[in-house]
Amino acid sequence: MFDFIDELRKKSPAKKKMIALTVSASITGVIFFVWISTFWLTPASNEPKKDSFADIAAPISSIKENIAEAYSSFVKIIGAGQKGQ
């Protein structure tokens, strides 16, 4: 591996940029392929799919509660820091 890195250091800046572009495009392509392949996966559930507002509202309310809890924790930390001064 170190020999490969030493060989890269000896190359011209244009060649280094081309190698960097090729490597980053390859990694991005693999990630894109994995992301696209997840669209064809189906859940292994026998239950009929329900599209109701309650199913959508549950995650939203959970996020709302988590944000409120994080904010109150942050306020407590700031308040404890001010009391100590």
- Dump pLDDT digits (tens) for 58-77: 777 778 888 888 888 888 87
Collapsing DSSP to helix, strand or coil, 58 comes out as helix
Token look-up 């190698």 returns 19
Residues 27-50: what's their mean pLDDT? Answer: 79
pLDDT of residue 26: 96
Report the pLDDT value the prediction gives residue 5, as an integer from 0 to 100. 85
Distance CA 71, CA 63 (A): 12
**Exposed, middle or buried, 36 (CB in 10 Å: 0-12/13-18/19+)?**
exposed
Q: Which residue has the higher pLDDT, 77 or 2?
A: 2
Check residues 40 and 19 and name the one with the higher pLDDT: 19
